Chains A and B, each alone.
Chain A
Amino acid sequence: MELAIPVEQWSGAVGTVTLGATAEQGGTRRRTLTLGGESTLPFLRLEGAIPNPPALAMEVLDASPEKWPEPLRAPFGNVLDDPAAWAVKCVEEFGADAIVLRLVSADPQGQDASPEQCAETVRRVLQAVSVPLIIWGCGDNDKDNLVMPACSQAAAGERCLLGTAVQENYKTITACALADGHLVISEAPLDISIQKQVNILLTEQGLPLDRIVMYQVTGALGYGVEYAYSILERTRLAALTGDKMLSMPMLSVVGSEAWKAKESWLDEPKWGALERRGILWEAATAALFLHAGSHLLVMWHPEALRLVRAMLTALQPA
């Protein structure tokens, strides 16, 4: 019998989204980052193009992460209480494709930083690095609605990715993105119909498809990753079979999920060397998201990023 290579004829493709704007485009980024564009399944070379490899962003918190375990703090030295210096290290030393600035300081339960303070941090980080910036709110809807407009303005023209728009709270952030030339993260709680619904809400407000990145709440390896895995696979298949409203690139949060897992920090000799465990847990979690179809991973540990980068290289055809 002759083997006929079983190719699929997909009717659709993943859309592309470009983060960051250069000087000619009205921003100050020296690099932009294009996500998506595939007309095939992840890393599969049988039936379609993969114009842009998945990208790896690193996350910077605007308040020093007191609870981070030692193996996670170690590579950062003394920059963890300076978001701008932290971001520089991620880009220059660790090779991050983009920076996620997470505005944890805005949390009303915590430091409750003012919108102006957050905007100032945004300005400083933008000045310090030349890669695209992802600005992520603290998760408190009311506070984010105050913080995001200030940050968006401070970054006007930079084509930043703003997060996150959820079903119950999407209007302010979308308006900011439209006013200042940014993109939006559309978030849903592991539910494909809600994801589609949020995407529709954003587009109805006037945001074009090529300015939306999808984010389904994630779980770490061993802690619900399988749900996210299947949601990502189903979303990719929906894009390939022509569902435009689910065709945007997808983002996955890896670092914060993976380091929450006990396996990353608990002193348990049966599980092997503690200094490596969190790094490997993060890299393993990332690998699953990539195979499920994610386009942009938000990483914490530089060594995990390096391992995943090497895996991406190995997944390029020879």
Chain B
Amino acid sequence: MALTAIEVYKHLPKSNCGKCGVPTCLAFAMKLVQKQASLDQCPEVTEETKQALEGSAAPPMATVTIGAGDRAVQIGGETVLFRHEETFHHPCALAVRLSSSLPPAQLAAGIERVEGCRYDRVGMLLGVDLLALEDAGDGSLAEAAQMAAERSSLPLVLMSTDPQAMGAALEHCGAGRPLLYGATAANLDAMVALAKQWDCPLALCATDLHELVALSERAGQAGYGKLLLDSGAKSLSQLLNDQTIIRRAALNKKFKPFGFPTVAVCAAEDPAAQMLEAITAVAKYAGVVIVDPLPDEYLLPIVTARLNVYSDPQKPIQVEAGMHEVGEPTPESPVLVTTNFSLTYYLVEGDVMASKVPAHVLAVDTEGTSVLTAWAAGNFSAESIAEAMNKFALAEKVAHRALVLPGGVAVLKGKLEELSGWEVVVGPRESSGIPLFFRQRGWVPR
């Protein structure tokens, strides 16, 4: 994908004049590919070379921003087909769509609901990123957009193929840089003009892949590059195949017309089928996934799947190692030990909170691995726990000398008691057992 130093070198003047600050053009080329220098540091480079190099250094898939301000989302910019090859960079944006023709009270309630679709999970708030308004074709889009702009902080998606309705809606919400969905073969020129006028991302809505190429080229010729792609897949099978073709063509073949993130509109009637459609789109390359206002039990798996698929396979999400306070613990409060893998830590924290018993939680640095993984790998051992107890001065924080160990590593009890001099109490295997465990030990809410 990125050019090698030799390829860059071929484009340079090869005069080794040194004006760029390094002695040779080859050395400069090396700095360029390592992104330690920029091309304008070489005064000798021609305009043509500049274009050639910048063109081929351009990422194979554009990164596109939807919305403005704090809650704007970036999508696209992906560089691989499989997450293990590197990571997926920009989690796809989840949009919930409401019809513009809903009666005002219902629309207001719908907006409020979408706005509130946020789920607390392992220390992160997951939720819906975009509010989509679907034009019912009855002249209601502008008013709906006005209400949405007033009542919601989420970036919008305006779903209409009518440039006039789109233009009217943009008068109310254009400053928020909504996603315009979208341009078809029939309305492309007018839609591109609107997108340019309001500086908004524009989705190209084709009926198949070949038409999508044509639309993308037309938009390109019109000088617009903030694009998203929708191939108009009619079935789940086609969605998966189209998405794969687009991603492969962009990344492996540098096929410019497909160098943009995609949109998948999920429309299965059965809500569970729509959830599985959305999860398919999340796993298989969509940049924006649009769903109906599904109940929470359907949205939660979708946002969790997105979190998982887009997590960095090289480094697990971690919390800071050390002593954490849950509630307002006193020196008499219980002390629990766990790992610094954020999934593990937050499950424990959540269950301690649920018990309403304030407590101290010692997170041992296990390089972000779970209790059993860390135990199997040797970095959640009696030694490492005892060391962390010293390092984070447990003895100074609490008046008692009892430490609660995860049930899964009960085998560490003896050795840890020996090393630390503390009483080690084996807790339940699953942290969900903590509230009951506390009650059984007579540790009660304050």
Contact = CB atoms under 8 A, between A and B. Distances in A.
Given A1-B257, A6-B253, A222-B307, A318 B273 contact: no
Contacts of B279: 284, 287-288, 291
Given A271-B300, A318-B235, A233 B84 contact: yes
Interface in A22-60: 41, 43-46
B270 to A, nearest CB: 8
A228 B169 CA distance: 45
Interface stretch (B37-45, B52-60, B238-246): B238-246
Interface centre among A6, A189, A237 (most CB of B within 10 A): A6
Contacts of A318: 234-235, 237-238
B296 A271 contact: yes
A281 B301 contact: yes
Q: How many of chain A's residues touch chain B, expressed as a range? A: 35 or more
Contacts of B297: 271-273, 276-277, 280
A54 B279 CA distance: 18
Given A270-B296, A272-B296, A3 B272 contact: no
A234 interface: yes
B305 interface: yes
A181 B82 CA distance: 38
Contacts of B347: 262
B392 interface: no
B90 interface: no
A310 B270 CA distance: 11
A107 interface: no
A291 B245 contact: no
A17 interface: no
Interface residues of B, number: 58
Contact of B298 (A43, A44, A229, A280): A280
B308 A3 contact: no
Nearest to A304: B272
A44 B268 CA distance: 20
Interface string B106-147: 000000000000010100000000000000000000000000
A229 B305 CA distance: 11
Nearest to A278: B297
Secondary structure call for the A interface: helix
A189 B245 CA distance: 33
Given A270-B296, A280-B272, A4 B304 contact: no
Contact of A314 (B235, B253, B275): B235
Contact of A1 (B82, B255, B313, B343): B255
Nearest to B212: A3
A76 interface: no
A246 to B, nearest CB: 14
B441 interface: no
B311 A226 contact: yes
Interface in B183-228: 209-210, 213, 217
B284 interface: yes
Given A6-B248, A6-B249, A6-B252, A315 B237 contact: yes
A227 B391 CA distance: 31
B370 interface: yes
B252 A43 contact: no
B298 A272 contact: yes
A260 B276 CA distance: 20
Interface in A268-317: 270-273, 276-277, 279-281, 283-284, 287-288, 291-292, 307-308, 310-311, 314-317
Contacts of B11: none
Contacts of B311: 226
Contact of B275 (A44, A260, A280, A291): A280
A224 B300 contact: no
Contacts of A230: 82-84, 313
A225 interface: yes
Nearest to B216: A1
B432 interface: yes
A317 B233 CA distance: 12
A82 interface: no
Given A280-B275, A291-B280, A45 B237 contact: yes
A284 B294 CA distance: 15
A221 interface: yes
A5 interface: yes
B304 to A, nearest CB: 4
5 contacts: A4-B253, A284-B301, A311-B276, A314-B236, A318-B235
Interface of A: 1-6, 8, 41, 43-46, 189, 221-227, 229-230, 233-234, 237, 260, 262-263, 266, 270-273, 276-277, 279-281, 283-284, 287-288, 291-292, 307-308, 310-311, 314-318
10 smallest CB-CB distances across A and B, nearest first, come from A272-B297, A272-B296, A284-B301, A314-B236, A6-B248, A226-B308, A230-B84, A222-B304, A291-B283, A311-B276
